[in-house]
Amino acid sequence: MDTAPSLLAQWHPVTCDYGLIEAPLDAVAEGFARWQRSLGRTLQERTMDSGFADVLAALLPLSMGKRRCALVQTDSPWTAVLQSGTQGSDPTPIVRVLSQCMGTRAMRVCARERATIWELFAPNVQGPVRTVFTVREAKRWRFGQSGQALAHEPTERYALPSVRARFDRGVLAACVGPLGVRPWDDAFFGARAVVVEREARVREPPELTLAEALAALGESFAASR
């Protein structure tokens, strides 16, 4: 019997590259709103508690402009950050700023057809304190890392002959699992969320349906395995 794809798979590209802040939802929502308003942006906020599927649907339509952001409670100390981007949630600017403003750890998890990336941020440090990635450039895979490896990281994988296998979606999950994160598990994401929408600009990028964004991107969640 065929199994229906997970929500995370269905909502690629939104879910292929998202952020996590190690703080409660309400604190993250307050910090995010304060930061956005300091930039002069007018926001509309609404709290949702009807489930992760409805939260993802609230991000539609998608665009390069990423007008909508969902801050999602998880079953861990981390709050997820997903945006309405046609090429992913592009979380690095948000998690980097909120890590500093809120004095807490944050991370980016990315699993795409051509890249798997993990970035860990910490207070009082401008860039990521730990980065591990594999990226396909032209027809070759490239592996890289920076910062001090965490004690639980499966660093033996980083020496495998297959560059792609050194850091794939499974290895990324092994790196963040001991931190309380299950990045590819629908059940990790709770029902409660705060969805924030900024005002439209005069020249806003074209907005797309999920199907249109997937077609334009030309990749799928399954392809990142």
Residue 215: per-residue pLDDT: 83
Residue 220: per-residue pLDDT: 56
Residue 59: per-residue pLDDT: 96
Q: Which domain holds residue 180?
A: 7-199
Strands in 189-198's sheet, in edge-to-edge order, are: 43-48, 189-198, 68-74, 79-83, 17-21, 106-111, 115-121, 130-137, 140-147
Looking at the domain assignment, is residue 205 inside a domain? no
Looking at the domain assignment, is residue 206 inside a domain? no
Looking at the domain assignment, is residue 12 inside a domain? yes
Residue 217: per-residue pLDDT: 77
DSSP 77-140: S-EEEEE--BTB---HHHHHHHHHHHTS-EEEEEE-SSEEEEEEE-TT-SS-SEEEEEEEETTE
Domain count, the chain: 1
Looking at the domain assignment, is residue 136 inside a domain? yes
The amino acid at residue 217 is L
Element housing 210 (H / E): helix 210-217
* Residue in this structure with the two tokens 């956005």, named with its chain if needed: 36
Q: How far apart are CA 173 and CA 158, in angstroms?
A: 14
Looking at the domain assignment, is residue 214 inside a domain? no
- pTM of the model as a whole: 0.91
Looking at the domain assignment, is residue 1 inside a domain? no
User: How would you classify the pairing of strands 140-147 and 130-137?
Assistant: antiparallel
Q: Walk along the chain (225 residues) and give the pLDDT tens digit of each residue.
A: 445 679 999 998 899 999 999 999 999 999 999 999 898 888 899 999 999 999 999 999 998 889 999 999 999 999 999 999 998 889 999 999 999 999 999 999 999 989 999 999 999 898 999 999 999 998 899 999 999 999 999 999 999 999 999 999 999 999 999 999 999 999 999 999 999 998 877 787 788 888 888 888 776 555 555
Looking at the domain assignment, is residue 216 inside a domain? no
Any residues with CB less than 8 A from the CB of 85 and at least 6 apart, and which?
Answer: 13, 14, 62, 63, 64, 66
Looking at the domain assignment, is residue 212 inside a domain? no
The amino acid at residue 184 is W
